[in-house]
Amino acid sequence: MSIKDKKIVFYGAGEMAEAIARGILSQKLVSNKNLAMLNRNNEARLHELNDLYGVQTEMQGLSKLEYIKQADIIFLAMKPKDAVEALDAIEPYVKSHQLIISVIAGLSIDSMEQLLGDDLPLVRSMPNTSSRIGYGVTGISYSPLVSEEQRAIVEKIYQSIGISLVIDEDQQDAITSISGSGPAYVYFIMEQMMNRAIETGFSVDDAKKLVSQTVLGAAEMVIQSGENPGELRRKVTSPNGTTQAAIEKMTEMGLPKAIFSGMESCENRAKEIRSTVEEDLQIKV
């Protein structure tokens, strides 16, 4: 059976679920008749998704559990705080032939095994928000029961929204701090660059154009040249020039250390969220 024949269900219908579903449909991996989106009780959201993409929802006749039972691939896309209760509810209905893919921050493969059973092929993944426009980065970890065919399907799905990298599960917290939260770091730097541009007299629109194109161009230079960012930075930093003055001041003010420490704090917070989910699981058990 090819991916075109698979029935895919998203249990959780937030922005990330929508981004992945949109990628799947835009690349014609499956038809909208084979893709269903479910949530806890937000009917307006389900109507919106049906209107936008023609996907299946409870509004089209089947119950949540019927969609779950019929699925070949189930995406777990609910909020971390709702994960234990939601997975406990569907546990009696999932079967060993179904592929389970989690996009829930902090939900480990071990926790999924405890909640759903240890006879299922399980995938833990961490996409980022740029998936919404097809430029996402996703870290993927597999349980031992995921077959080669299933791995190929998972990677094809995530290629529809950007690039993916298969990693050891113990790297998931780290990838959260690199690419998971990474777009926000870039937005934060862009925000400061825009503020400075506005302060020097540029309009908000012009400041946005200048900064956006500068960041886009810099990223494309790294990708197209194949060079490391440090090498490219050194090439444009002339001795005693304007760029060197800026880099020296930023270094003096602690920018490199602030970025490193911020990413470390992000990773630690990811670990705390995982611990909270695991604590909830132990209480439930």
72 inside domain: yes
Taking residues 167-184, report their average pLDDT. Answer: 96
Distances (CA, A) of 7 to 92, 93, 277: 19, 15, 28
- 56 with 155, same domain? yes
Q: CA 226 from chain center: how many Å? A: 25
Which residues are within 8 A (CB) of 215 and not within 5 positions of it... i.e. 6 or more apart?
A: 186, 190
Instruction: Give CA torsion, residues 158, 132, 187, 258, to 10 deg.
Output: -30
Residue 269 amino acid letter:
R
* Residue 101: strand, helix, or coil: strand
Range of the domain at 195: 180-266
Angle between helices 80-90 and 255-284 (to 10 degrees): 30
272 inside domain: no
With pLDDT > 70 as the criterion, what percentage of the chain qualifies?
Answer: 98
Q: What is the pLDDT of residue 35?
A: 97
Average pLDDT, the chain: 94
Q: What is the pLDDT of residue 40?
A: 87
Contact 9, 94 (CB under 8 A): no
Of the pLDDT bands very low, low, confident and very high (cuts 50, 70, 90), residue 284 is: low
pTM, rounded to two decimals: 0.91
- 100 with 235, same domain? no
- 154 with 236, same domain? no
Q: What is the pLDDT of residue 279?
A: 80
Residue 1 has pLDDT above 60, yes or no: no
CA 123 to CA 107: how far, in whole Å?
Answer: 10
Residue 256 has pLDDT above 70, yes or no: yes
- For 81-100, write each residue's pLDDT tens digit: 888 899 999 999 999 999 99
CA 278 to CA 280: how far, in whole Å?
Answer: 5
- 114 with 26, same domain? yes
* Residue 100: strand, helix, or coil: strand
Q: CA 242 from chain center: how many Å? A: 37
DSSP string across 183-209: HHHHHHHHHHHHHHHHHTT--HHHHHH
φ, ψ (nearest 5 deg) of residue 134: 85, 15
- 114 with 141, same domain? yes
Contact 11, 77 (CB under 8 A): yes
CATH number of the domain to which 219 belongs: 1.10.3730.10
Residue 283 has pLDDT above 80, yes or no: no
- For 12-64, write each residue's pLDDT tens digit: 999 999 999 999 999 999 999 999 999 988 899 999 999 999 999 998 878 99
- 158 with 203, same domain? no
CATH number of the domain to which 165 belongs: 3.40.50.720
278 inside domain: no
With pLDDT > 90 as the criterion, what percentage of the chain qualifies?
Answer: 87
DSSP string across 157-178: HHHTTEEEEE--GGGHHHHIII
Residue 189 has pLDDT above 90, yes or no: yes
Contact 144, 198 (CB under 8 A): no
Of the pLDDT bands very low, low, confident and very high (cuts 50, 70, 90), residue 274 is: confident
> Which residue among 121, 147, 172 closes a domain?
172
Residue 113 has pLDDT above 90, yes or no: yes
Which residues are within 8 A (CB) of 50 and not within 5 positions of it... i.e. 6 or more apart?
A: 56, 57, 59, 60
Token couple for 105: 């921050």
- For 150-164, write each residue's pLDDT tens digit: 999 999 999 999 999
Instruction: Give CA torsion, residues 69, 58, 113, 6, to 10 deg.
Output: 60
Q: What's the total number of domains in the chain?
A: 2
Q: What is the pLDDT of residue 62?
A: 86
